[in-house]
């Protein structure tokens, strides 16, 4: 009798595990992304992972439906506003899923490829403050000292230090601790593809946080 009970419990356990494994597989098929992940990768650096806003600079989004309708939010994502850049690099279906998540708090699964995730993270989170190349125009959201251009950054600092800066933030750069290790790796590899073009003589690279980020390699 005891042996039969043990067999029954084992069969029940394996059935439950198999059920949830199947549900998980069906819920997140390959080459898909959720509205929540689109927000996390593109918006959470400024507006916070919980949409509560940050540092009295970036507004909360939790009650956005009391101020804007969905079409207005979509246009703001598309065109930008104030210090918020335009997210023209995000495909339309991803912007629609993003707006649904911001507005309703509902996340939907849509088709989306992860092959360009490093480039997407860079465009959504880095270009507001960092130049890509040394002679690019000054970014719109630079405060205090301008951080270094990112072409060549992967040769000036170690990957482990780069991960720590992304994880913890630096100066007025916010923490991006909501990025996974794989996502930080994608960003690092994308930056590594830039051809180094030197440092700008217009930036003071010998003082403040810029110097610490450029020179430290541990």
pLDDT tens string for the chain (218 positions)? 545 554 543 344 434 334 333 333 334 466 889 999 999 999 999 999 999 998 778 899 999 999 999 999 999 999 999 889 899 999 999 999 999 999 999 888 988 765 689 999 999 999 999 999 988 999 888 877 888 899 999 988 999 999 999 999 988 889 999 999 999 999 999 999 987 766 544 444 444 454 444 434 44
Q: Looking at the domain 31-113, which fold is it?
A: Cytochrome Bc1 Complex; Chain D, domain 2 (1.10.760)
The whole-number pLDDT of residue 198 equals 61
The tokens of 199 are what? 């440092």
At 67 the pLDDT is 93
For the residues of 19-49, what is the DSSP string, one character each?
HHHHHHHHHS-TTEEEHHHHHHHHTHHHH-T
pTM: 0.76
How does 96-126 read in b/e, with b if 16+ C-beta sit within 10 Å? bbbbbbbbeeebeebebeeeebbebbbbbbb
pLDDT at 199: 55
d(CA 63, CA 54): 15
Topology (CATH) of 117-218: Immunoglobulin-like (2.60.40)
- Token pair listed for 16: 């439950």
């Amino acid at each position: 009798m005891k042996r039969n009970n043990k067999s029954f419990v084992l069969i029940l356990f394996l059935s439950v595990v198999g059920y949830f494994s199947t549900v998980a597989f069906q819920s997140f098929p390959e080459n898909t992304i959720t509205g929540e992940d689109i927000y996390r990768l593109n918006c959470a650096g400024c507006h916070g992972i919980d949409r509560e806003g940050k540092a009295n600079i970036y507004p909360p989004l939790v009650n956005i439906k009391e101020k804007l309708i969905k079409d207005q939010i979509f246009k703001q994502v598309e065109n930008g506003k104030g210090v918020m850049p335009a997210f023209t690099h995000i495909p339309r279906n991803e912007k629609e899923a993003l707006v649904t998540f911001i507005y309703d708090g509902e996340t939907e699964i849509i088709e989306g490829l992860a092959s360009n995730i490093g480039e997407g993270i860079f465009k959504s989170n880095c270009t507001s403050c960092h130049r890509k190349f040394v002679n690019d125009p000054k970014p719109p959201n630079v405060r205090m000292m301008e951080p270094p251009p990112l072409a060549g950054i992967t040769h000036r600092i170690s990957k482990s230090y780069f991960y720590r800066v992304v994880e913890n933030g630096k100066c007025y750069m916010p923490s991006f601790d909501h990025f996974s290790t794989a996502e930080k790796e994608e960003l690092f590899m994308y930056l590594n593809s830039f051809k180094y073009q030197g440092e700008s003589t217009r930036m003071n690279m010998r003082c403040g946080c810029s110097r610490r980020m450029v020179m430290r390699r541990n």
